Amino acid sequence: MIIGIIGSGAMGAGIAQVVATAGHTVRLLDQNTQALQRAGQSIQNNLNKLAEKGKLTVEAAAEVFNRLHLTEDIGTFNDCGLVLEAIVEDLGVKQQLFREVEMLVAEDCILASNTSSLSIASIAAACQKPERFVGIHFFNPAPLMQLVEVIPAVQTRPGLAEQVRDLVQSWGKLPVLTKDTPGFIVNRVARPFYGEAIRILEEGIADIATIDCAMTELGGFRMGPFALMDFIGHDVNYRVTESVFTSFFFDPRYKPSFTQKRLFEAGYYGRKSGRGFYNYAEGAVQPEPTRDEALSRRILNRVLAMLINEAVDALALNVASKQDLELAMTKGVNYPKGLLAWADELGLPAVLTTLDELYDEYHEDRYRASALLRRMVRQNQTFFQQETVAHG
């Protein structure tokens, strides 16, 4: 199958590298000549590095690059079996693009979007044949990140999502199937990692260094929430939170914070701008965490209970299967454990108690426990079979 990719930014170029490496002829399209040349150079550099490390032979790297065709002419997409866009997150722009693409490609060509925040149904609605439309959401950087979310729209024909999932798997990726709901799996379930950490900061319970330390040293997360938000950039992270909040009809569980909004408004985007929650200027002294076991445990339990509740609710609403929810959080955002397995480990009653105590304290809807969690505690159930230890 020949694959067309539209948009040669970091995501588009990364996806092009993935599919070319998997053996497909790839047409990478961008109207911006310089951006296209930069993408080609970047892919070539990546392939050379892989060859230097011995992960690809020099010949294989050259073959992969030869399968890549840079183009500014959308007319060259007429023989593509799949066309995937990775352009600006703007619904009108994406819809207009697919109206043009649909006029050029064959009737059986699959159309796909790499959107992380827009509804797949709304993009598909611009097409004359929306039944061939699907979401294929990669994570940045696409060549390194294993997870890919595959999202059928309400219009997608039965069986297409599974066909696309198998195709993505053949590219050496780990695909998960998810419902077309705001944030899909990862950007929905991960919201409390940021939101609840900021809430703990705003209440003066602990500072950023202490919260980050609790989540990494005690929780085993690779990065603390504040370091991670600074790494992603508040221009991206805040916008995603705001988009998820709006898309969920202003459900208070996803409510953005003024603390992050002010950083965003000030242009303090994090590492990329030299300042965010932390100061990245040369010679800046980083704050030291307070090492207090009881405080760290309290921080971790609160954030973890909120994350688990989000995963349980996604399961309750059939957003994805148990297995796909676990895979998404461990491979999409590198969580140390799947949240449902973690819930089993902590004990569902303990998680429910944490949530109910928060709800009793605040009387805010953001702390409402999922009905599924409550039901499972009542029926003494776990998400996965607990192995019984035989005592000899």
Contact 114, 98 (CB under 8 A): no
27: helix, strand or coil = strand
Buried b (16+ CB within 10 A) or exposed e, 91-101: eeebbebbeeb
Q: Which residues are bridge partners to 83 per DSSP?
A: 4, 111
Beta strand pairing call for 147-152 and 133-138: antiparallel
Helix or strand holding residue 1 (H, E): none
Distance CA 99, CA 290 (A): 56
Distance CA 218, CA 216 (A): 6
Active site residues per annotation: 116, 137, 149, 187
Contact 326, 340 (CB under 8 A): yes
Helix or strand holding residue 376 (H, E): helix 371-378
Contact 51, 35 (CB under 8 A): no
Q: Which residues are bridge partners to 135 per DSSP?
A: 113, 151
Distance CA 212, CA 231 (A): 13
For residue 229, the tally of other CB atoms under 10 A from its CB is 27
